[in-house]
Structure 1
Amino acid sequence: MTQYFSMPTAVVLTLLAAAMWGSWMQVVKLKKDFPIAGIVFWLYLFSFVFVWAITLVLAPSLLPQGIWTVTMQNLPVIGKILMGGAMMSVGMLLSLTVMHSIGLMLATTLSGTITSILGIFTSVSEEGLPDNPFALPLIIATTVVFLLASFVCSYASQQCGKDRLLAQGGRGAVVKQKSTVTFKVVLMILLNSVLANGWSIGTASGTAAGLPPILTCAYLCTGSTISTLLVCSFLFTRQKCWKTIFCVGTSKRPLLLGVVSGLCHYGGNLMSIYSMPTISATLSFLFGRTANLWTYFWGFYYKEFQGARKRTLAVLSLGLLLYFGGLGLLFLYNFS
């Protein structure tokens, strides 16, 4: 399998991709009254143009056989990549909808457990374990640490809501509070976690088959765009909001948000996929879990933990330290 980067470069690019993934979702806070589906619509349309423009420019040097020839030689794999991309984009729409309902940090922590388990299982089943006797213990240990970190941070997020209610109306307010995590939200989180596994299905399939990373990303994006167009076209037609989506007579800011989101989302995907032949799809997925850290940092910026007691902040700090502990295990494995 061709390696495009050295180990240090691949790790840095994967961590940078995670930072981009954990940051662009702030559009939920910035979109104002613009529909979330509209942001997703523009995100994937721009991503499609962006990724395929890069693919066509670099194809002569990276794909001397030609895009069509390589595609015809790998049709079964490309079919799985297209399916993975289609799942991922629908999951993204659900994820942003949940974030809008219950907040960035709580949504991230609630979906983290299922997403982590499915992602690791899919990557290992597609690609196999890295050729190192310490790979399996490391994967298990790091996964457990990240899951524990997700649980601790989720508990802190829930306690923060109670802290604010206590400060506003005493213990009676806590008893009477109406949970934002409704049965509908739980179902959306579960479905989103399954659909988000499309990322692992697509990237691990392409990496395991030795498909050039540029084509893996291009077809992943193609699947994402096709499913987005189908779902969003149905929604926009039913809701009669096409003029709103195209910002007719209103601010064009949502279009800019979609462009920036696409650049971060699929720009990060491109860097991550190019780094996978060096660090493996499985370890790349684990490095990618650090995107949650950036979600929390931005959550602090938007004061989602404002009014939390010191005890709650201490619990959250423990959760964040666990994320760094898991990251430390990955560094120890890759650079020892």
Structure 2
Amino acid sequence: MNPFTLTRAASAEAAVRDFSSHDSPAYIGGGTNILDLMKENVAHPTHLIGLNKLPLNAIETTADGGLRLGATATNADTAWHPEVKQRYPLLNQAILAGASPQLRNMATNAGNLMQRTRCYYFYDTATPCNKREPGSGCAAIGGYNRIHAILGASEHCIATHPSDMCVALAALEAVVHVQGKDGARQIKFEDFHRLPDDQPERDNTLQPGELIVALELPKQGFAKHFSYLKLRDRQSYAFALVSVAVGLELEGATIKDARLALGGVAHKPWRDKKAEQLLIGQPATEATFKQVAEAVLKDAKGQGTNDFKIELARRAIVRALKQAAAGEQQASDVFTNSNP
């Protein structure tokens, strides 16, 4: 690990000013990912700006009936907050499906959005990686790519976004509030993370130095009919091979509104609004759900050792939709496969 300096910001504005005054700065909250990146010689900040003292950990109802989640609130405090449990159980289940209790006690909401891929080659500095070193190549393409993307990939990168929480936030249509040198702005969650295209080193649409200060959830939380299904290699402390977040609003047996987001399949939480529209006004039946799964995955492409993820995702979508329609929730499951 390279030497670095550390300051603790007293306000969001002070943090942004401090960031702008250094050549290689980085923000640090819970440190559950940035410190790993530094230890593995993947990230090399020379100055860290501590954010844990900022007054940004409140979770409170908004004027229009939504919920505002402070950026420095921990994942554990967010998951177990009474308003989240009661009104946004999809988010509760997604957070609890991720990491471990110890990490959830440290990790912050903003840090969860900012965490980087767990691609093997990204962490292995002896191999080429366009995300770590632009222009060096992508060792995962043609390499061992079991955990990699089947949607939205490019010839430059097939890494996936690792977060569980973000998949639920995508389905719930959260809004990200940020503070930068030019003031405050809001970013729709669907616009926050990027696909790799020809700049895989850029994970999100933040401008340099911009700081996440809060996440805002709309009033609709799909508290009656939801499901977060996570398929992984072991029951705990494992990243998703495929995850599915579903929120349904039913009128009798007819779907009145629907949200569907996937994790573990792309460079960002994957949401297909056109496919979602196929659910609206339709009966909540397996035939409807299979049609939607086919639409979501029509452009899916395997890379060899991850080909199985296409069928896995297809079945997971149908299963999660069935669970949501029936009011049955299942936070995670173990995927067993004889292939490597």
TM-score by length of 1: 0.26
Relative contact order (alpha carbons < 8 A, sep ≥ 6): 1 or 2 greater?
1
Q: Per residue, is there more helix in 1 or in 2? A: 1
TM-score by length of 2: 0.25
Choose 1 or 2 for highest CA Rg: 1
